[in-house]
């Protein structure tokens, strides 16, 4: 970025005009900070965005994928992933009272920004109090496999440890299609039965796609 006129450098431009005046590549360059011997931060930012099809694709990339760009090491990759995650959390977590999940749409609104994207499948639970307000969320298992292996005891161990009165089970489909598989249906039935025995209500099981969701409650399972 030394080759740019001072007023065109991302940092100076941000101070002068504000962050909204910067392009995606300039914002990513600021996160990177210093470039490498091969290329400056702005060039690396352009290469990252091109490799992942723009900013949206970049939000779905893992740190290991980012390091495939020459000049992006582990530290730079961690900075980028952390910055994107902070943005996602800020967008998904409005201030005020704890979120109350009392219907499938509200569950999807809460969970999609947090867990709906990604290149690996993750299964977790939202732990709820007796008024169905979110205590916290917990990812229980993740992996590259099309079918995650999880036992009800792992789910309810976490729910019991967190003092949950009820839970919403969730997992994402990296393909973007939230249509449930036979294994998803079977797991849902097992979790509902286990919850009834343990006295922890399984409010819903929500499958998260890219922008769509599937609710087992809406489908009549609960």
C-alpha dist (Å) from residue 116 to 102, 134, 195: 19, 18, 25
What are the DSSP calls for 4-55, one per residue?
A: S-GGGSHHHHHHHH-GGGS-HHHHHHHHH-S--SSS-HHHHHHHHHHHTTSH
Residues paired with residue 142 on neighbouring β-strands, in sequence order: 122
pLDDT at 87: 81
Q: Going by C-beta distance under 8 Å and a sequence separation of 6 or more, which residues neighbour residue 85?
A: none
Domains of the chain: 6-92 (1.10.150), 104-215 (3.40.140.10)
C-alpha dist (Å) from residue 120 to 92, 115, 117, 209: 20, 10, 9, 12
**Mind listing the pLDDT tens digit of every residue in the chain (222 residues)?**
556 655 568 888 888 888 888 888 999 999 998 877 788 888 899 999 999 888 888 888 888 889 998 989 999 999 998 988 888 777 665 656 688 999 999 999 999 988 887 778 899 999 999 999 999 999 999 876 556 678 899 999 999 999 999 999 999 998 889 999 999 999 999 999 999 999 999 999 999 998 899 999 999 987
Residue of 161, 115, 162, 158 whose CA lies nearest to 134? 162
């Amino acid at each position: 970025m030394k080759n740019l006129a001072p007023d065109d450098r991302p940092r100076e431009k941000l101070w002068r005009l504000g962050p909204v005046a910067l392009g995606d590549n300039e914002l990513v360059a600021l996160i990177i900070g210093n470039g490498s011997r091969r290329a400056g931060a702005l060039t690396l930012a352009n290469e990252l965005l091109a490799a992942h099809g723009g900013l949206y694709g970049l939000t779905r990339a893992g740190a290991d994928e980012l390091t495939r760009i020459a000049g992006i090491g582990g530290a730079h990759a961690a900075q980028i992933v952390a910055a994107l995650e902070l943005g996602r959390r800020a967008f998904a977590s409005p201030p005020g009272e704890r979120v109350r999940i009392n219907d499938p749409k509200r569950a999807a609104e809460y969970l999609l920004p947090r867990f709906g994207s990604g290149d690996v499948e993750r299964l977790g639970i939202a732990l709820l109090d007796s008024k169905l307000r979110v205590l916290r969320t917990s990812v229980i298992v993740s992996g590259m496999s099309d079918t995650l292996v999880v036992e009800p005891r792992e789910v309810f161990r976490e729910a019991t440890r967190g003092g949950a009165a009820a839970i919403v089970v969730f997992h994402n489909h990296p393909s973007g299609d939230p249509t449930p598989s036979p294994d998803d249906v079977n797991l849902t039935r097992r979790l509902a039965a286990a919850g009834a025995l343990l006295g922890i209500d399984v409010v819903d099981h929500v499958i998260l796609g890219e922008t769509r969701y599937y609710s087992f409650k809406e489908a009549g399972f609960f």
